[in-house]
Amino acid sequence: MSRRVDPVLPRLVESYFREYLDRVRGASHHTVVAYRDTLRLFFTFMAGTRRCDVSALRVDHLDVQIVTAFLTHLEATRRNSPATRNCRLAAIRSFVRHLARNDPPRAGQYHRILSLPAKKTPTRMATYLEPEEARHVLDRPDRRTALGRRDHALLLLLYNTGARVSEALDVRVHDVERARPPHVRVRGKGRRERLCPLWSETMRALDALPAMQSGKPDQPLFLNRRAERLTRDGVAHMLRKYVRQAAGNMPTLHRRRVTPHVLRHSCAVALLQAGIDVSVIRDYLGHASVATTSRYITTNLQMKRDVLEAFWHRAGLTSTRTTPWRPTSNVLSFLASL
């Protein structure tokens, strides 16, 4: 005799994605995909633990013990980092809050899950390229070929605007404005839009793309060999290739892990070094909080040194030159005898 399928969980899952994420929150496609993948992993793990099919899962199965076991599974078995573990937990929490709103009789069960804390993770320093390093990478694509011109335009756009790679790949022909000053419309997290000015060099590179000459306003700018939208993995592979090539003339690039997001960090640090106010950079990059932007200040030693020098001068202190200590020959003889 087959088990009776509980319709509550499938109904709540569907209402969460179609009603809450889409209509209430207006979540972006990237958020929906990330939450979808998390719940897919979670339900598969839960079904394996309960030794049943996913279709046989019930709301009663979703408790704090199974969520805790899933988080442990992510780190111990899947070798996910604590940061990834926290992202998965955030997605589960969002779903459980939806359950609590729509299933009050089990509120206590859901609140115990919501009480699970995120794991503390070490704050990593943002990796970035100095302008000279970035220029060496940007100059690597062979602009005599169609793919080289595409790659050069994409790298320029990423560095010029500080856009996330997903935002750059979403740019379409009608998002680029040649009006003075030239600018591009970028759609970020939470579907927030921002306008980013373009260097004349970037505008010329974009104008050379086939999409800009196609007469199709809704066509994506960056396409692969099959005339399909370029993927994030494709961009990461392309950037690694050019970094390896650039390392021949720029030794500091050797063994550096340069991802598309590193170009975003590089843009932010370059703006800070140019003296641009943090609040302006926040809007330029599309950060929700200025605190996110401020972390770039901690990554650049020269900026810290400039602040220290300014403080030293402002305090009216004068530096004193001290004669460096030099050991006598007798001391060296003594140490050599030990």
What are the start-end ranges of the H helices in the chain? 8-15, 29-50, 64-76, 82-102, 107-114, 131-138, 146-161, 165-170, 200-207, 232-246, 260-273, 278-285, 290-294, 301-314, 329-336
Which structure tokens are listed for 243? 């970094």
To the query of whether residue 174 is one of the catalytic residues in this protein, the response is no
To the query of whether residue 159 is one of the catalytic residues in this protein, the response is no
To the query of whether residue 244 is one of the catalytic residues in this protein, the response is no
Which structure tokens are listed for 154? 């994409």
Q: Please choose, from the candidates 95, 115, 96, 109, the residue with its C-alpha nearest in 3D space to the C-alpha of residue 63.
A: 109
Helix axes 278-285, 260-273, angle to 10 degrees: 150
Place of tokens 């995909």: 33
Q: Give CA separation, 8 vs 24, 65, 99, 109, 135, in Å.
A: 21, 20, 10, 15, 56
Place of tokens 């641009």: 276
Q: Please choose, from the candidates 203, 242, 206, 200, the residue with its C-alpha nearest in 3D space to the C-alpha of residue 222.
A: 206
Bridge partners, residue 177, by sequence: 183
How far is residue 249's CA from residue 15's CA, in Å, rounded to a whole number? 55
Amino acid at 178: R
To the query of whether residue 261 is one of the catalytic residues in this protein, the response is yes
CB 239 within 8 A of CB 259: yes
Selected catalytic residue, list 136, 150, 187, 264: 264
How many CB atoms lie under 10 A from the CB of residue 228?
Answer: 10
To the query of whether residue 189 is one of the catalytic residues in this protein, the response is yes
Selected catalytic residue, list 98, 164, 187, 265: 164
Selected catalytic residue, list 73, 97, 185, 261: 261
Residues labelled catalytic:
164, 189, 261, 264, 287, 296
